């Protein structure tokens, strides 16, 4: 295993992979005297993943100055595994987009010229299906990106998402939550995650021919922000994995939904959060997003 001296030396490597491995090692073993070298590397680093690990390493040296680091401050094996998975997903999806998008454009152009009545043909349906898949991969690539954490008003984000969904679907979104509600997180990743939850709720309501509205709630308690989307639709399929840690299906519609939910889960993981999709008592489903925030949300709950 790499030691601190070897990791500091490797920060000067031309290889992004070497620098990433070095930064991750320092996030676990950095010493107080390594702070200057880590800070210098952080100022010159361009790769987002390396910067993220360097920031952790620098924070570790600051903890070392203050005294022994608490177990809660350590990066867990699960966190490291999630980060490795995010890097892999981002790299693979980026490669797929780079290689397949031009080919898909060529297929559409050639098919338009070669297939009679292309606009109403099965060929058009197949090309559109491929196009939807590539858009899903693009969303997955975006969701796997490191979070740009900042403070924002969650109520404003929710109002905007609900308005767009109502205009798009004609289904009423019944909102409930503090206004304003300042939280920390990445608003772009959050919108990417929640948009899928709203879409799924609307589709489930329409498939069940259900009347009424979709309920959307948000709150900040105990250092965490939570958003829930509750519907009275067709409910969850038998054996559905509520934590979405594995999604596997071959049916086209379920594949589309699965990709969307995987994107939502990955976006929330990038913010240190989690996603659960649960059966709703009385019928329907609950899409629940939860992520840790700073104390700004607590202040927003206080009148005045």
Q: Which of 220, 163, 221, 150 is nearest to 190 (CA)?
A: 150
CB 152 within 8 A of CB 185: yes
**How many independent structural domains does the chain possess?**
3
Same domain? For 58 and 112 the reply is no
What does R_g of the chain's alpha carbons equal in angstroms? 22
Question: What is the model's pLDDT at position 297?
Answer: 41
Regarding whether 208 and 131 lie in a shared domain, the answer is no
Instruction: Clarify whether residues 130 and 176 are in a common domain.
Output: no
Co-location of 259 and 170 in the same domain? yes
156 with 95, same domain: the answer is no
CA 80 to CA 216: how far, in whole Å? Answer: 32
Instruction: Tell whether pTM > 0.85.
Output: no
Q: Are residues 109 and 191 in the same domain?
A: no
Question: What pLDDT sits at residue 218?
Answer: 97
pLDDT for residue 47:
75
Low-confidence ranges of the chain (pLDDT < 50): 66-75, 243, 245-256, 295, 297-304
Q: Which two tokens stand for residue 53?
A: 């690990």
Looking at the structure, do residues 273 and 236 belong to the same domain, yes or no?
Answer: yes
Clarify whether residues 155 and 294 are in a common domain: yes
Per-residue confidence (pLDDT) for residue 173, from 0 to 100: 96
Domain extent at residue 222: 150-300
Domain end position, chosen among 54, 73, 92: 73
The pLDDT value recorded for residue 250 is 37
Residue 97 CA to residue 132 CA, distance in Å, equals 12
Q: Is 224 left (phi over 0), alpha (psi -120 to 50) or beta?
A: beta
Kindly give the pairing relationship between strand 173-176 and strand 150-153.
unpaired
In this structure, the answer to whether residues 67 and 85 fall within a common structural domain is no
């Amino acid at each position: 295993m790499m030691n601190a001296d070897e990791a500091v030396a490797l920060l000067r490597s031309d290889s992004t992979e070497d620098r990433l491995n070095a930064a991750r090692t320092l996030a676990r073993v950095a010493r107080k005297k390594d702070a200057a070298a880590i800070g210098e590397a952080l100022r010159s680093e361009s790769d987002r993943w390396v910067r993220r690990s360097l920031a952790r390493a620098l924070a570790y040296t600051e903890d070392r100055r203050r005294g022994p680091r608490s177990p809660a401050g350590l990066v867990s094996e699960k966190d490291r595994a999630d980060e490795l998975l995010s890097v892999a997903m981002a790299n693979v999806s980026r490669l797929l987009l780079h290689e397949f998008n031009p080919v898909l454009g060529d297929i559409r152009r050639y098919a338009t010229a070669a297939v009679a009545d292309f606009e109403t043909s099965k060929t058009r349906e197949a090309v559109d299906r491929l196009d939807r898949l590539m858009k899903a991969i693009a969303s997955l690539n975006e969701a796997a990106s490191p979070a740009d954490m900042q403070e924002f008003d969650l109520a404003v984000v929710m109002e905007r998402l609900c308005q767009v969904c109502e205009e798009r679907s004609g289904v009423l979104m019944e909102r409930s939550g503090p206004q304003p509600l300042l939280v920390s997180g990445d608003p772009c990743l959050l919108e990417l995650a929640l948009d899928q939850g709203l879409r799924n709720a609307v589709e489930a309501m329409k498939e069940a021919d259900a009347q009424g509205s979709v309920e959307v709630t948000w709150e900040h308690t105990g250092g965490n922000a939570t958003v829930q989307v509750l519907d009275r639709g067709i409910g969850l399929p038998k054996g559905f994995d509520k934590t979405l840690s594995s999604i596997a299906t071959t049916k086209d519609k379920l594949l589309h939904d699965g990709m969307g939910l995987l994107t939502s889960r990955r976006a929330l993981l990038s913010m240190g959060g989690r996603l659960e999709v649960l059966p709703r008592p009385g019928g329907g489903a609950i899409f629940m997003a939860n992520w840790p925030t700073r104390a700004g949300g607590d202040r927003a709950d206080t009148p005045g």
